[in-house]
Amino acid sequence: MPDGPGHYPSAAATGRSKPSRIALVDVNSFYVSCERVFDPSLAGVPVVVLSNNDGCVVARSNEAKALGIPLGEPWFKISAQAPRWGLIQRSSNYELYGDLSSRAMELMGRFAAWQEVYSIDESFLGLAGSPQSLQDQGGGIRAAMALHTGLPVCVGIAPTKTLAKFANRVAKQNPAMGGVCNLDTMPGAQIDHIMSRVPVTGVWGVASRLGKRLNAIGVFTIADLRAANPLLMRRKFSVLLQRTILELRGVPCIELETERTDKKQMIFSRSFSTPVTTLAGMHQVMSLYAQAAAMRLSRAKQLAHSMTVFAGTSPFHRTASSFPSVTVRLPAPTADPVVLTRAAVGALERHLEEGVPYARAGVMLTDLSPAGFQPQLDVFVSVHERRNIGALLGEVTEKYGAGSIGLGRAGLCAPADWTMSRRYSSPRYTTEWDELAIVKAN
Ligand SMILES: [Mg+2]
């Protein structure tokens, strides 16, 4: 990873004028691409990543998609054919993915005045410039990502988040575009044409259930949705759908840090209004963020098994440059705010420095599973969970606002991972000394 400016177009160059366009930078087939960074033999061959206990397919390379392997396919159903197809399987390695994610996010953030980390492999960036300059910036981000992280990304650039998501999809599906789609440079008729061919569920925030309800009233494609009456749709469906329609027409109305539901991780990340320079302050931040993430997790009835915590200075700060991040495997899947807070504070505290002006921080929970799905071993149920402190914390916070109740600092237990079968796992190349990649020189 680069540790100073000068390796690529400086963020300051893009941050001088007020951002007027939004870029969505998204890693292509993220889990598979992480595996490929350290194992080049996986390039160009069909690869699938399996869920916990090697149960079912959670990620596919394009080649695996071309074989017709659906997401969620149980591994036992395809394992027999795998050798014939040349299909390679990997157990999910959330330590590797979490660590590469925070590196990728930090690098993306250097290109923009503002950044919103949206999921494990995508962030929104605020960009400014002429259509040609935006196109060049998109290309610059792609090149830097390839050079410094080894991860392939696509960049969608547009006036709104919903359109940036759409542009990213267009870039992904049209390799001839070179990985960057800037809607400003596309003729309107071409955009209309694509929108009239993509099903409405291809729009950010329109899940399959909503899609079915829209189909029932004759809205089948993105173009149909864009043409619908926003007020009518608000009355029939929700204010969220009204905003989506306006965004498709180029009117920005989905604010930063808005929760949307099409994510496989839970992220709570914010830029601070003023830098936090003390360790005590950062502990407080991490503890609040972990609790906020825990609350989102339990609202979604999910448990997390892996956590990445990160902090960073402003990319525009002249002297201070520090972007610590740590990924930890939790002892067992949990949504317990006590356990998550302890993990977040404990994991990051050794990497923070007194006096450094931190400008942002975040907590990302990955390896999610539905709560109550797997039998919890009693030994792993925290005493707090038994006493239902989690629910109490949530209640008090809801009533009196965030920050009204919190948990103190505590150490982090060493993770135990003996319950999980990860037979096809790649090494934790970036987070374990014993598993670093070995380079042979001839
Ligand atoms: Mg992706």
| CATH number of the domain enclosing 269 | 3.30.1490.100
Average of pLDDT values for 340-365? 90
306 in a domain, yes or no? yes
49 in a domain, yes or no? no
Question: Mean pLDDT in the chain?
Answer: 84
* CA of residue 274 to ligand 1 center, whole Å: 31
* CA of residue 104 to ligand 1 center, whole Å: 12
Nearest residue to 225 (alpha-carbon basis) of 250, 244, 209:
244
Better-predicted residue by pLDDT, 426 or 394: 426
Range of the domain at 186: 11-27+97-126+155-248
Which of 79-88, 309-318, 336-345, 417-426 is least confident? 417-426
Instruction: Report the pLDDT value the prediction gives residue 376, as an integer from 0 to 100.
Output: 47
* CA of residue 162 to ligand 1 center, whole Å: 16
Instruction: Report the pLDDT value the prediction gives residue 397, as an integer from 0 to 100.
Output: 53
433 in a domain, yes or no? no
Instruction: Report the pLDDT value the prediction gives residue 438, as an integer from 0 to 100.
Output: 78
Average of pLDDT values for 39-56? 91
Asked if 330 and 398 sit in the same domain, the reply is yes
Asked if 168 and 203 sit in the same domain, the reply is yes
The whole-angstrom separation of Cα 90 and Cα 261 is: 26
Which of 137-141, 237-241, 363-367, 403-407 is least confident? 403-407
Domain termination residue (choose one: 248, 277, 310): 248
Segment 215-231, tens digit of pLDDT: 999 999 999 999 999 99
Asked if 289 and 214 sit in the same domain, the reply is no
Asked if 219 and 364 sit in the same domain, the reply is no
Confidence of residue 258 (pLDDT cuts 50, 70, 90): low
Asked if 397 and 363 sit in the same domain, the reply is yes
* CA of residue 245 to ligand 1 center, whole Å: 24
Segment 93-111, tens digit of pLDDT: 988 999 999 899 999 988 9
- Bridge partners of 311, per DSSP, are 361
* CA of residue 204 to ligand 1 center, whole Å: 13
**No. of helices (H) and no. of strands (E), the chain:** 17, 12
Better-predicted residue by pLDDT, 166 or 256: 166
* CA of residue 156 to ligand 1 center, whole Å: 12
* CA of residue 382 to ligand 1 center, whole Å: 34
User: What is the domain-level CATH number for residue 239?
Assistant: 1.10.150.20
Average of pLDDT values for 140-160? 97
Domain termination residue (choose one: 222, 248, 274): 248
* CA of residue 153 to ligand 1 center, whole Å: 8
385 in a domain, yes or no? yes
* CA of residue 226 to ligand 1 center, whole Å: 25
Instruction: Report the pLDDT value the prediction gives residue 45, as an integer from 0 to 100.
Output: 96
Confidence of residue 349 (pLDDT cuts 50, 70, 90): confident
Residue 321 has pLDDT above 90, yes or no: no
pTM above the 0.85 mark? Answer: no
* CA of residue 28 to ligand 1 center, whole Å: 5
* CA of residue 151 to ligand 1 center, whole Å: 10
33 in a domain, yes or no? no
Instruction: Report the pLDDT value the prediction gives residue 52, as an integer from 0 to 100.
Output: 76
> How many domains are there within the chain?
2
Give CA separation, 43 vs 1, 6, 39, 61, in Å: 22, 30, 8, 9
Q: Classify residue 279 as exposed, middle or buried by CB count within 10 Å of its CB (0-12, 13-18, 19+).
A: middle
Asked if 216 and 342 sit in the same domain, the reply is no
* CA of residue 243 to ligand 1 center, whole Å: 24
* CA of residue 164 to ligand 1 center, whole Å: 14
397 in a domain, yes or no? yes
* CA of residue 207 to ligand 1 center, whole Å: 17
Asked if 295 and 354 sit in the same domain, the reply is yes
Token pair 């007194």 is at which residue? 354
* CA of residue 122 to ligand 1 center, whole Å: 6
Instruction: Report the pLDDT value the prediction gives residue 396, as an integer from 0 to 100.
Output: 57
Asked if 276 and 376 sit in the same domain, the reply is yes
Asked if 197 and 315 sit in the same domain, the reply is no
Asked if 217 and 303 sit in the same domain, the reply is no
- Bridge partners of 165, per DSSP, are none
Confidence of residue 390 (pLDDT cuts 50, 70, 90): low
* CA of residue 165 to ligand 1 center, whole Å: 11
* CA of residue 275 to ligand 1 center, whole Å: 31
Non-local (6+) Cβ contacts of 53 within 8 A are: 420, 421
Residue 404: DSSP 8-state: S
223 in a domain, yes or no? yes
* CA of residue 356 to ligand 1 center, whole Å: 32
Query: Above pLDDT 70, what percent of the chain?
Result: 83
Asked if 239 and 326 sit in the same domain, the reply is no
Confidence of residue 76 (pLDDT cuts 50, 70, 90): very high
Asked if 211 and 286 sit in the same domain, the reply is no
Instruction: Report the pLDDT value the prediction gives residue 318, as an integer from 0 to 100.
Output: 74
* CA of residue 30 to ligand 1 center, whole Å: 5
The whole-angstrom separation of Cα 14 and Cα 19 is: 8
* CA of residue 121 to ligand 1 center, whole Å: 5
* CA of residue 22 to ligand 1 center, whole Å: 17
Average of pLDDT values for 253-277? 74
Better-predicted residue by pLDDT, 213 or 366: 213
Query: Above pLDDT 90, what percent of the chain?
Result: 52
Segment 161-182, tens digit of pLDDT: 999 999 999 999 999 999 999 9
Instruction: Report the pLDDT value the prediction gives residue 424, as an integer from 0 to 100.
Output: 81
* CA of residue 119 to ligand 1 center, whole Å: 9
338 in a domain, yes or no? yes
> Taking the chain, what is the end-to-end CA distance rounded to the nearest angstrom?
24
Q: Structure tokens of 25? A: 């930078």
Confidence of residue 199 (pLDDT cuts 50, 70, 90): very high
* CA of residue 97 to ligand 1 center, whole Å: 12
* CA of residue 120 to ligand 1 center, whole Å: 8
Which of 90-104, 192-206, 245-259, 402-416 is least confident? 402-416
* CA of residue 303 to ligand 1 center, whole Å: 22
